[in-house]
Amino acid sequence: MTYDRLVCANCAAPVNQGRCPVCRANRARMQQEGGPLAGLTPAALVVLVALLVTAVALLVHQTA
């Protein structure tokens, strides 16, 4: 889950703005826990998968 859509229960502001200490702490925690693909949007992940499938299909077509 990305933190750009989360709303802080402490200050009712978006967490990515970091308006209060709770927001800043949660934003930092989520940035540390995230892997290399954690910051990508679902649409970007779909595009990456489509590119990967296309590349594999081209490789299979060239070797066949």
Same domain, 25 and 45: no
Same domain, 13 and 26: yes
Same domain, 29 and 1: yes
**Closest alpha carbon to 27 in 1, 62, 51, 52:** 1
- Encode pLDDT of 2-46 as tens digits: 566 788 888 988 888 888 998 888 888 877 776 777 667 888 889
- Encode pLDDT of 12-23 as tens digits: 888 888 889 988
Q: Which helix (H) or strand (E) holds 64?
A: none
Q: Which helix (H) or strand (E) holds 17?
A: none
Phi (first) and psi of residue 10, to 5 degrees:
-80, -45
Same domain, 47 and 22: no
Same domain, 7 and 29: yes
pTM for this prediction: 0.47
Same domain, 42 and 29: no
- Domain span including residue 49: 38-64
Count up the domains in the chain and report the number: 2
Cβ distance 3 to 27 under 8 Å? yes
Same domain, 29 and 42: no
pLDDT, greater one: 40 or 57: 57
Place of tokens 């802080």: 8
